Amino acid sequence: MYTFSNKLRIGSFIAMAVGLIFLAIGFVSAPSTVEEAKAIVAAAHDDGHGGGHGEEATTHAVASDHGAEEAHGEGHDASHDEHLLHQLQNRPWSALYVAAFFFFMISLGVLAFYAIQRAAQAGWSPLLFRVMEGITAYLVPGGIIVFVILVLSVLHMNHMFVWMDADVVAHDKLLQGKAGYLNPTFFLVRATIFLGGWIFYRQYSRKLSLAQDESDDNSNFVKNFRWSAGFLVFYLVTESMMSWDWIMSVDPHWFSTLFGWYVFASMFVSGITVIAMVVMYLKSKGYLQEVNDSHLHDLAKFMFAISIFWTYLWFAQFMLIWYANIPEEVTYYVARIEDYKLPFFGMLVMNFIFPLLVLMNSDYKRVNWFVVMAGIVVLAGHYLDVFNMIMPATVGDQWHIGIPEIGGILFFGGLFVYWVFTALTKAPLLPKRNPFLEESRQFHY
Amino acid sequence: MASKVIQALYNDDDVLMHAVKKVRAEHHHIEEVYTPFPVHGLDKAMGLEDTRIAITSFMYGCLGLAVAIIMMNYIMIADWPQDIGGKPSFSYLENMPAFVPIMFEMTVFFAAHLMVITFYLRSRMWPFKKAENPDVRTTDDHFLMEIGVHDNEDELTALLQETGAVEIKVTEKES
């Protein structure tokens, strides 16, 4: 049995507390009127210049800024100001949503990996099943939090999903055309079905997995195999629809056919990375004695391969739209390249070039600290990926990775660690009776 | 290389593996082992060095990438930068997404083909090459271990007999 180390528990509580404070600061400092919003933007400009220049230059920059601001102010019309206000109000919400979705996505990716291992009857992975089940335990709180955020969006607490605003839809022919699918009631019904199905499979498979330990035949194992195969079909459909609903619909004028796969690749590689990192942590504490280098090597191979798969999909989506350059599609990338140059191309380096070079060598895939280092970069890169998918539509050029964003990562990271490691204490870390257990013990590559 | 060799034939890969380990433990140099199929772990048991062919492949891939970039940059950007359907041909970077499929394929092409050719060269394989097969049965169902003889024929024969060889013969090795 695993015992939750006190240090880690306290660490996760501190992360949650600091994250909550940061998020609260984000919400409190969000403007509530147009005037406040303009003041924030003006202050941000001053700060930016003051930080970068010497003292003499500061006064100059501030002066020129004021000039620009005044000239600007005359050009502004009321709707532009309101747009700015909404963007600034969205920022803490988006920071919350991106972080909530990112950690939820990790556990969902692990669930998909777990189901594939069961359905494929993989011989190497049964030793890691309990770790995967521990990580997918976060699906329940994480899914509920994401759902609550979606409900609050439907209740007009924020402006992340413009199609939820009846006024906007009334003046938008395109959104009216999509209203049959994108309407608040159906949206929440779908979300309930997705989450219900995923959580049901997770809980039921875990139950069968634990029952298999105590039984004297393999009926639970066979049942679990069948449910996993069925789940994968359900998952493929619902994951795709989830990506349209929860992510693509923040840009309701834009659409892409392979978006579901793209989001899937992102969650899959993050999930595998987290499995590898948790396994290495537990092994370093002496809990997973029988897990050897070859298991780690296999996980790292998956990290490497799925990172490339993610890049393939990223590029396939980007290149097709860039090449054809159809105005209604290309605005998506114009907004990202204009305003998000560094995060947009930075994530490509973190998610593709870095793992490509670091994890290519077979020997390096067995070195723990190498895999951990690659894993940290990959996870940060996929956080940026979600960031790049949500933020341009909700906060536009007012983005910043500051207090609310870091608060979101800290809070959900802390919650994730707390929940996952608590779940790991609930059952022995090694399954007792799995037909492939011995093969997994002997696994050697 | 000794001009006289002793050849032991086995009919099971497990027996062969044990024999290899035993012969190595007695510090005899195994010149060659002939098997009809890859025996997992035989290279480790014989103490052969790891192959470096993956490293060559990586370098060939880099070469292919460089060839693709230089070629496309010269043709599309430097030599005759036409406006083809509005694609920006002012710099390589601006039009790069259109070149990625070529860059990728060239990388794979160079990495794969040059690696295969390297493999042929290093393992000396080519059409019309005379087969180096000491016993026709080794391509079907027998395994053959070859050890050089240095005036210790009787000792070696006894050792190999112990390891479960089904047949032992001493021959002159040509060349």
- Distance CA(B33)–CA(A16), nearest Å, equals 62
Q: Is the pLDDT of residue A224 over 80?
A: yes
For the residues A272-283, what does the mean pLDDT come to?
95
Cα A329–Cα A331–Cα A335 angle in degrees, nearest 5:
145
Is the C-alpha dihedral spanning A164, A165, A167, A169 positive or negative?
A: negative
Q: Give A360's contacts in chain B (Cβ within 8 Å).
A: 58
A238/A246 Cα distance (integer angstroms): 11
| pLDDT (tens digit per residue) in A394-443 | 998 889 899 999 999 999 999 999 999 999 999 999 998 889 999 999 99
- State the best of A315, A341, A443 to mutate against chain B, taking most chain B CBs within 10 Å: A315
The answer to whether A10 contacts chain B (CB < 8 Å) is no
What is the average pLDDT across A90-99?
A: 94
What percent of chain A has pLDDT above 90? 77
Question: Who contacts A193 (Cβ-Cβ below 8 Å, separation ≥6)?
Answer: A238
Band (pLDDT 50/70/90 cuts) for residue A62 is: very low
The answer to whether the CB atoms of B97 and A325 lie below 8 A apart is no
In this structure, is residue A434 part of a structural domain? yes
Q: Give residue A82's pLDDT.
A: 84
In this complex, is the C-beta atom of B53 within 8 Å of any C-beta atom belonging to chain A?
A: no
Q: Domain for residue A264, yes or no?
A: yes
Q: Does the pLDDT of residue A51 top 50, yes or no?
A: no
B47 at the A interface (CB within 8 A)?
A: no
Q: How many CB pairs under 8 A join A and B?
A: 12
Place of tokens 């036409």: B82
* A13-47 per-position pLDDT tens digit: 999 999 999 999 999 988 888 888 888 887 776 55
Give B149 to chain A, closest Cα distance, Å. 36
Confidence at residue A37, expressed as pLDDT on a 0 to 100 scale = 82
Q: What is the pLDDT of residue A50?
A: 42
Task: Give the pLDDT score at A414.
Answer: 96
Cβ-based burial of A367 (10 A; exposed 0-12, middle 13-18, buried ≥19):
middle
Contact B118, B56 (CB under 8 A): yes
Dump pLDDT digits (tens) for B113-143: 999 999 999 999 999 999 888 899 999 999 9
**Can you give the pLDDT at residue A72?**
47
Domain that holds residue A172: 6-30+64-441
Across the range A222-243, mean pLDDT stands at 96
* Cβ <8 Å between B54 and A362: yes
ipTM: 0.89
**Residues of chain B neighbouring A325 (CB-CB closer than 8 A):** 86
Residues of A in contact with B108 (CB under 8 A): none
Is A325 part of the contact surface with chain B (CB cutoff 8 Å)? Answer: yes
pLDDT band of A55, cuts 50, 70, 90: very low
Per the CB < 8 Å rule, is B100 touching A319?
yes
Distance CA A188, CA B54 (A): 51
Total number of domains in chain A: 1
A319 contacts in B (CB within 8 Å)?
A: 97-98, 100
Specify which residues B147 forms β-bridges with: B6, B30
% pLDDT > 90, chain B: 76
| Chain B nearest C-alpha distance from A442 (Å) | 15
The residue-averaged pLDDT of A275-280 equals 95
> Please, are residues A77 and A362 in contact by the beta-carbon 8 Å criterion?
no
For B6, the token pair is 């002793």
What 8-state DSSP symbol labels residue B134? S
A51 falls within a domain: no
Separation in Å, CA of A325 to nearest CA in chain B: 10
pLDDT at res. B174: 65
Pairing of strands B4-10, B143-148: antiparallel
Among the partner residues B54, B58, B97, nearest to A319 by beta-carbon distance: B97
Q: Is residue A261 scored above 90 in pLDDT?
A: yes
pLDDT average, residue stretch A150-170: 91
- With an 8 Å Cβ cutoff, is B86 touching chain A? yes
Which pLDDT value is given to residue A60? 42
Q: Is residue A52 part of a domain?
A: no
HEC states along B34-96?
ECCCCCCCHHHHHCCCCCCHHHHHHHHHHHHHHHHHHHHHHHHHHHCCCCCCCCCCCCCCCCH
> Residue B132: helix, strand or coil by DSSP?
coil
Residues of A in contact with B98 (CB under 8 A): 319, 323
Given a cut of 90, whether residue A53 has pLDDT beyond it is no
State residue A76's pLDDT score.
53
| Chain A environment of B97 (Cβ under 8 Å) | 315, 318-319, 322-323
* A29: nearest Cα among A398, A343, A412: A398
Residue A52 has pLDDT above 50, yes or no: no
Give the 3-state DSSP-derived string for A375-412, with helices as H, strands as E and coil as C: HHHHHHHHHHHHHHHHHHHHCHHHCCCCHHHHHHHHHH
- Please, which residues 119-158 of chain B have a Cβ atom closer than 8 Å to chain A? none
Please tell me if residue A326 touches chain B, with a CB cutoff of 8 Å: no
In the predicted structure, residue B29 carries a pLDDT above the cut 50: yes
Residue A270: name the closest of A385, A417, A163 by CA.
A385
Answer yes or no: is pLDDT of A366 > 70.
yes
Dihedral sign of CA atoms A393, A79, A24, A163 in order: negative
**Is residue A77 domain-resident?**
yes
Query: Hunting for tokens 């994108």 — which residue is that?
Result: A182
Say if A39 falls within a structural domain: no
Residue A261 buriedness (CB in 10 A; 0-12 / 13-18 / 19+): buried
CA distance A172 to A179: 10
Mutation to test the B interface, candidates A312, A313, A322, A352, most B Cβ within 10 Å = A322
Quote the pLDDT of residue A46.
Answer: 59
In this predicted structure, what is the pLDDT of residue A70? Answer: 45
Residue A66 clears pLDDT 80, i.e. is over it: no
What per-residue confidence (pLDDT) applies to B2? 52
Count of CB atoms situated within 10 Å of the CB of A95: 31
Name which of A380, A368, A365, A236 is nearest A305 in CA terms: A365
Burial, B73: exposed, middle or buried (Cβ in 10 Å; 0-12, 13-18, 19+)? Answer: middle
Which residue of chain B is at minimal alpha-carbon distance from A315?
B97
Provide the pLDDT for residue B99: 96
Average pLDDT of the segment spanning B57-78: 96
Q: What's the average model confidence in pLDDT over A363-371?
A: 91
Whether B97 sits inside 8 A of A362 (CB atoms) is no
Structural domain includes residue A48 = no
Question: Does the beta carbon of A362 lie under 8 angstroms from any beta carbon of chain B?
Answer: yes
**Residue B4 confidence class, pLDDT cut points 50, 70, 90:** confident
Above 60 in pLDDT, residue A145? yes
What is the pLDDT at residue B172?
83
User: How does pLDDT run across B76-92, given as a tens digit for each residue?
Assistant: 999 999 999 999 999 99
pLDDT at B164: 86
Indicate the range of A75-89, A162-176, A239-253, B82-96 predicted with least confidence. Answer: A75-89
Asked whether residue B152 carries a pLDDT value surpassing 80, the answer given is yes
What local confidence, expressed as pLDDT, does residue A168 receive?
87
Residue B96 to chain A, least CA–CA distance (Å): 10
Instruction: With beta carbons under 8 A apart, name residues in chain B contacting A318.
Output: 97
**Is A382 domain-assigned?**
yes
* A222 near B CB under 8 A: no
Please state, rounded to an integer, the average pLDDT across all residues of chain A: 90
Q: Given CB atoms, is A360 within the 8 Å cutoff of chain B?
A: yes
**Does B55 lie at the interface with A, CB-CB under 8 angstroms?**
no
- B85 in reach of chain A (CB within 8 A): no
pLDDT of residue A421: 95
pLDDT digits (tens, 9 = 90+) for A314-342: 999 999 999 999 998 999 999 999 999 99
Q: Residue range B30-50: average pLDDT?
A: 92
Nearest to A318 among B54, B58, B97 (CB): B97
Q: Does B100 touch chain A (CB under 8 A)?
A: yes
Contact criterion met (CB < 8 Å) for B98 and A323 = yes
